[in-house]
A = this chain, B = another copy of it.
């Protein structure tokens, strides 16, 4: 597909961006890595050198404007997303933007409106779980109606460790945000209320940090979602989602769906397996498919998967969640009109 290979530039080449760059370069059919940009120009330069025909561009907005760049992956920190996404919209470039869309609902909404004004959807949000084979099967099963209507969803999101600087609000904004998107995705509905409970924290938590957190969502259609987010469980990365329907249930993400082993131990032997240390292992295949789906759609001039609206709605729910984290009270989620009348 030489003539139509999608020439991709990646903005932000920290851990996540470097992974995306590698996927574009070596694991995505019909796409080619041509440029990278990072405030750490040495890092960008080193990465560019690792691949044939890839340039390091100092200014991310110059990368966006570059005539040899067909499409852009944004993996920079959330607080610079607004101007970078706006530049992509201006230049009409298909974009894959890592979550969060932006740091607050207002700016996220501005991006939704800017894209709507352009008249053509261009941005896919980086909620990779929507591309995980198990979540996809769960969604397909729920949508099939074979189990009746979806009534309750239970999410579990456990992480082995986080840096000491990871605060309670970040657990809402950076971790729970995935459950927010999963709930909206599986139900196909908005969240209308969120309550965040603060159990006595694990002794491993940094001073003042509420970890684990339990939260409850009410959905627009009246269903209820429970969430446990635990970012310092000291064990590994466990993400589970159980959908409870009128005539059956389904569970995705069981850690035990892995190689089964037994092993000599202390007094007792053990059966089981290992749990991946982080999300990059667990969702490696989801990322592969996310990038491939984005490249395929970009070449066809369409957007598939989560949108700026999904990014905006997730941001607003997380803002309400951070408010509830402080007050301990239920907080209503207020979204703008989707079609932008307001």
Contact = CB atoms under 8 A, between A and B. Distances in A.
Interface of A: 1-2, 4-5, 25-32, 52-53, 134, 137-138, 141, 146-149, 151-152, 154, 156, 158, 160, 197-204, 212, 214, 216, 218, 221-224, 226, 228, 230, 233-236, 238, 244, 246-252, 254-265, 267-277, 285, 292, 296
A28 to B, nearest CB: 6
Contact of A199 (B5, B222, B273): B222
A197 B29 CA distance: 46
Given A273-B272, A275-B268, A248 B261 contact: yes
A234 B199 contact: no
A236 B214 CA distance: 27
Contacts of A250: 259-262
Contacts of A275: 262, 268-271
A148 B214 CA distance: 19
A255 B30 CA distance: 33
Contact of A202 (B25, B203, B246): B246
Given A152-B228, A275-B268, A204 B246 contact: yes
A188 B235 CA distance: 25
A200 B147 CA distance: 16
A63 to B, nearest CB: 20
Given A151-B200, A268-B276, A224 B214 contact: yes
